[in-house]
Structure 1
Amino acid sequence: MNANCAIDYRYAAEQGGAALFAPGAEQKWLLQYLPLVKRIVSQLALQANQVLDREDMEQIGLMGLLECLRRYGTPDEQFGRFAALRIRGAILDELRRQDWRPRQVRQQTHKIRDAIRQLARQLGRVPQEEEILQAAGINAKEYQEFLQADACEAIESLDELLQNGHEGFACGSSAVEDRVLKERLLTQALSQLSERERLVLTLYYQHELSLKEIALVLELSDARVCQLSKQAIAKASRYLNERG
């Protein structure tokens, strides 16, 4: 296995369960899906916030891929989508474990949220950006960073919901039926969104673009894409929770 796809197999056996394939076959599948791991690592670079470097994130992602491969069995046309959820989930779990946001950033986030809630109560409407900047005592750059972090948290919550919703997948007819049901629910959840909200989630989950890349594609500001993604995720999560 090359340096870009190196895994400690003793650790993998403990974390990923018993191997279903010969080591050579596992290596082949890991190499085949390595580009997926790299794309997801690029997506999650914003959340990492210097807590994990790219190499660490790729190693964690590969462990998630190996676990998924051993539980799923021989990959088919649907494997990539389920593997992406597990890879992303493994990296986000590690970021949460290491508490990727410094205490000062968390305090700033609470301060801005409190200011937005208080303004909304006072004004009886959603406050404008300029009003938020003045009330919270922050500049436009700090507000954009808040929106991005807020969107990342929302994405984490949907990732966790989707991942937990697919935890039961494995070989066997009942698992196949469960996968079909989950896919149907997710499709129905996306149908509840506006066209632009649906496009943002499609670009993120299916085309694996980062929020910044989505902003470039849609010719929107980073802040607007963060707002759209959070709105979309809130609607989709609410729908999935109600029917989960």
Structure 2
Amino acid sequence: MLAHSEWKAAGEQLENQPVAGEQAALNQYAHLVRRVVAHMRSQVGVVADRDDLQQIGMMALLKSIRRYGRSLDEQFESYAFKSIRGAMLDEFRRLDWRSRQSRKEAHDFRDAVRELRRELGREPRDAEICVALKISERQLLNMRYLEQAEVVESFEMLLEQQTHFVDSNEDIEQLEVRQLMTQTLALLPERHRILLQLYYTHELNMKEIALTLGLTESRVCQLHKQSLQLLTEKLKG
């Protein structure tokens, strides 16, 4: 005989199985899961396995389909994208991904770049960092993403604290977030404002933003981290 926990797990698994109409919708909107994984490149690989995130994303998509409450229209993609992204952020926090080793690597990297900046009297170029630290361009990009992941997590937690939930109404919650972001973004320098709008409003990932702005992916990661730090300061102020 199955134990209570096994019955519960079996029930949850059965409940999460899509029916015919839901399966068609999952197939139609599965690209959103891939978009979110690409959008959150700073955590993927550094934080969690891509296949695991794909599965979490598909479950979040199924829940979005069931919760939407009306025919899947042109607004559904934005609604589902945010739901999928939220589910993945919850998973990152659950994993407590910032291991002692990753924190040390990020700390050592920041110290080394800070020292190089002091020596040069300016912001070092990517090639100069690679030579000074004896790392490849790919390793540099990974370090940028590791740094970025820490800042993204801190910013997301602050944003949640700043948002007031009214009667658990998701539409009101999202409106408050948009208003808060709009007001605070207006206080930032134009370059940082454009980058954050491309990331949060247009939902581009770092590689896509780099192509849009004509910069390297590593430079965009660096600017994104700086932009979030500025935005965090404004929100706290």
Taking structure 2 as the reference length, the TM-score comes to: 0.69
Letter paired with 1:212:
K
Of residues 64, 69, 84, the one that matches 2:60 is 64
Of residues 175, 181, 184, the one that matches 2:179 is 184
2:43–2:145 contact (8 Å) kept in structure 1: no
SS at match of 2:53: helix
Describe the superposition over 1:91-116 as per-residue Cα deviations: whole angstroms up to 9, x where unpaired: 23324444556754442212122345
- Whether 1:93 aligns to 2:65 is no
- CA distance in 2 between counterparts of 1:170 and 1:32 reads 32
Q: What does 1:1-244 align with in structure 2 at a 5 Å threshold?
A: 10-11=12-13, 26-27=22-23, 30-49=26-45, 51-54=48-51, 56-68=52-64, 73-74=69-70, 80-98=77-95, 100=97, 104-116=101-113, 128-129=124-125, 137-139=133-135, 141=137, 142-162=139-159, 168=165, 176-242=171-237
1:30–1:66 contact (8 Å) kept in structure 2: yes
What is the CA-CA distance between 1:207 and the residue it aligns to?
Answer: 2.9
2:33–2:84 contact (8 Å) kept in structure 1: yes
What is the CA-CA distance between 1:84 and the residue it aligns to?
Answer: 2.4
Gaps of 5+ in 1: 1-7, 15-21
What is the CA-CA distance between 1:40 and the residue it aligns to?
Answer: 0.7
Partner of 2:5: none
Alignment root-mean-square deviation, CA: 4.0
- CA distance in 1 between counterparts of 2:232 and 2:90 reads 19
SS at match of 2:195: helix
Partner of 2:4: none
Number of equivalences: 223
Give the percent of matched residue pairs that are identical in Structure 1 and Structure 2: 38
Cα 1:78–1:193, aligned 2, differ >3 Å: closer, same or farther? farther
Describe the superposition over 1:156-201 as per-residue Cα deviations: whole angstroms up to 9, x where unpaired: 33344456666847776xx644443332111112212222222222
What is the CA-CA distance between 1:9 and the residue it aligns to?
Answer: 7.7
2:148–2:224 contact (8 Å) kept in structure 1: yes
